[in-house]
Amino acid sequence: MIYSMTGYGKAAQTADDTVYQVEIKSLNSKYFDPNIRLPQELRAVEIPLRKLLESRLHRGKISFQITPQGPGTTQARQLHKELLKNYVRQVNETFDDLDQSQVVASLLRNPDVWFAEEDTDAAALYAALLPAIEKAVADLVAFREQEGAEIEKDMRRQLKEIERHLAAIERRAPERKTELKTRLFTLLEESGVDVNPERFEQELLYYLDKWDINEEINRLKNHIRYFNETLREKKNLRKGKKLQFIAQEMGREINTTGAKANDTEIQHHVVQMKDALEKIKEQTANVL
């Protein structure tokens, strides 16, 4: 089982006569990269909220927002009029011919322009909103799991494609050696050069050994098996970096096979394996 880093979750909770909308999105990232936007009365709990999100989501570019809505909003909050005016002025200086009503409406959705009418117990409000936060996070995790299942299916399809071409290369390898040996003998005979047969045999064995790809084939098989085993792991849910590393090793063996092949048919299979591996690499970039 694997999880995608992409997901979305949403929930709502009423507290202090105000409806709070909780929304969370995530995209792929190498690290845990949160962007948290909270209304003024919840700014004090940003650190514990950040820790909660990291413990549940682990990695990804996280966009989290709590927005107060409904009639209770205007009763419980006051508008930062000077701040709003400043925002409007900056927008108008940057963009021409904007609909002022739309500009103001958009800026009013920014939590920064509102403040609580009286001091609010941030910890108590956070506790009241925690069920909605948990639900939004759970929805996002479920989304990640669903998308992860689709990614895994595609990865397995691409692995099968690599295995199919690898099997064809393995069948072709002995024929290739024989053909290379025959071609070298023919070229030698046509050249009319008198060569010591024992010496020629030694040189031939040296070059055939340099062109041998059995080691690359076996290592690639092992990497494919390890990739599949990693996909099947149930305890470790954070597999993205590990899968990326294995895919890099697979690419190294495929490239070496192509460099040593000296055979048109094998080169064709190598190109197909590279194409399938690139698709796998693109997918691993979005795996948790």
The tally of CA atoms less than 13 A away on the side-chain side of residue 262 is 16
Residue with tokens 């790809």: 213
Confidence check: pLDDT of 197 > 90? no
| Domain locations along the chain | 7-147, 148-284
| Arithmetic mean of pLDDT, 251-257 | 94
Q: Are 197 and 228 in contact (CB under 8 A)?
A: no
Question: Which tokens go with 274?
Answer: 């590279």
Confidence check: pLDDT of 74 > 90? no
The answer to whether the predicted template modeling score (pTM) of the entire model surpasses 0.85 is: no
Mean pLDDT of the chain: 85
Residue with tokens 């409806």: 19
Please name which of 8, 115, 10 lies closest in space to residue 62, comparing C-alpha atoms: 8
CA dihedral 135, 141, 145, 148 (to 10 degrees): 150
**Per-residue pLDDT at 99:** 72
Least confident of 25-29, 52-56, 74-78, 196-200: 74-78
Question: Which tokens go with 83?
Answer: 């701040």
Question: Which tokens go with 242?
Answer: 């590990």
Q: Is 33 exposed, middle or buried (0-12, 13-18, 19+ CB in 10 A)?
A: middle
| Arithmetic mean of pLDDT, 61-87 | 74
Please name which of 35, 86, 28, 37 lies closest in space to residue 59, comparing C-alpha atoms: 28
| Arithmetic mean of pLDDT, 202-211 | 65
Residue 35 and residue 66: Cα distance in Å, rounded? 12
Alpha carbon distance, N-terminus to C-terminus of the chain:
11
**Per-residue pLDDT at 82:** 75
Q: Checking DSSP bridges between strand 32-37 and strand 7-15, what pairing results, if any?
A: unpaired
Residue 75's pLDDT band (cuts 50, 70, 90): very low
Least confident of 27-36, 74-83, 233-242, 245-254: 74-83
